[in-house]
Chains A and B, each alone.
Chain A
Amino acid sequence: MTVMPAISLAQPLQLIAAVFTPWIALGIALLIGFFASYLTALSWADLTFVLPATAFGNVIVALFARFWLHETISLERWAGIALITLGVSFVAQGPSLTQHPAPAPDEMPSQEPVTTEVQPQ
């Protein structure tokens, strides 16, 4: 986006035109594939389960950059990879879906949540 001229809010149509730039268009096509999988995941799991889990994609990008593009990864970034992996492992251990047995909004147990494992088909 930075190779394009500066866009101001006065000409919002320029933002629409940016969509048809080839690289942005290819990115959008891949994002549609992502979105379909993401929606399916959201249909059987909590948002607070799916979001940290999908952040693992950042780790895959960094590993691709390291071993395919031979980029150097700083110590700081390895620390980032470690933290994301740890975070994802935390959330993956827990149940993926919150069950709401009855409308009781003031009952929010923090220690023993009423949850079940839901396995995707």
Chain B
Amino acid sequence: MMLPTPIAPSAATPGPWISAAMIAAVVLASTTGEVLTAAAMKSIGDLDAIRARSGLKGAIRAVITCPLFFAGVFFLAIAFFSLLLALNHLNLSLVAPAAASLTLVTNAIAGKIFLKENVDRRRWAAAVLVCIGVYLLAH
């Protein structure tokens, strides 16, 4: 295997606005994907119960025949490729904590608005604590 050519990181590092846009794209696509996927799984129902009733094949069929699930996967795929793009241009130590921690908070907001989930004080506290924790850990 060929050795990778080292690249001077400062030479091609994008400016703050482009960096923010790259991270925002990851966060936005990932939140949309998570919400759609969660909505799909709620519409399908308890997978453990389905598997108990009609086996693993039945459970897989229930998931892959749900259009909402593919809408979610589509946005998660966009999030994944925008993450690859962001990692290609920016440092992991910037992208990973920023994307991971921001996604937690945007998901709590989106879960409350779109999925009508009961985001009580306990869940807000959890989202914020885990957000700061992930940032400190990946930073």
Q: Which chain A residues have a beta carbon within 8 Å of chain B's beta carbons?
A: 1-7, 9, 15, 18, 39-40, 42-44, 46-52, 55, 58-59, 62, 76-77, 79-88, 90-91, 93-94, 98, 100, 105, 108-111, 113-115, 120-121
- Assembled-state Cα–Cα distance A82/B37 (Å): 29
Taking a contact as CB atoms under 8 Å apart, the answer to whether A47 and B137 are in contact is no
The interface residues of chain A lying within 8 Å CB-to-CB of B89 are 6
Taking a contact as CB atoms under 8 Å apart, the answer to whether A43 and B41 are in contact is yes
- Assembled-state Cα–Cα distance A90/B119 (Å): 12
Q: Which 9 A-B pairs have the closest CB atoms?
A: A80-B136, A83-B133, A87-B129, A80-B137, A84-B133, A3-B4, A87-B130, A91-B126, A47-B38
Taking a contact as CB atoms under 8 Å apart, the answer to whether B88 and A39 are in contact is no
Taking a contact as CB atoms under 8 Å apart, the answer to whether B4 and A52 are in contact is no
Query: A48-B117, A52-B127 known; 20 other A-B pairs, CB under 8 Å?
Result: A1-B84, A2-B87, A7-B84, A18-B84, A44-B46, A46-B111, A48-B123, A51-B107, A51-B108, A55-B100, A58-B100, A58-B137, A79-B133, A80-B133, A80-B137, A87-B127, A87-B128, A87-B129, A100-B116, A108-B118
Q: How near does chain B come to A87, taking the closest CB pair, in angstroms?
A: 3
Query: Chain B at the A interface: mostly helix, strand, loop or mixed?
Result: helix
- Assembled-state Cα–Cα distance A93/B41 (Å): 23
- Say which size band chain B's interface belongs to: 35 or more
22 contacts between A and B (CB under 8 A): A4-B88, A7-B85, A15-B81, A15-B84, A46-B111, A47-B38, A48-B108, A48-B123, A50-B38, A52-B127, A58-B134, A76-B139, A79-B133, A80-B133, A80-B134, A85-B133, A87-B133, A90-B122, A90-B126, A108-B116, A113-B120, A121-B49
- Assembled-state Cα–Cα distance A93/B63 (Å): 29
Q: Which among A1, A4, A49 has the highest number of chain B CB atoms within 10 Å?
A: A1
The interface residues of chain A lying within 8 Å CB-to-CB of B129 are 83-84, 86-87, 90
Q: Which chain B residues have a beta carbon within 8 Å of chain A's beta carbons?
A: 4-5, 7, 9, 12, 34-35, 37-38, 41-42, 44-49, 52, 63, 81, 84-85, 87-89, 91-92, 100, 103-104, 107-108, 111-112, 115-123, 125-130, 132-139
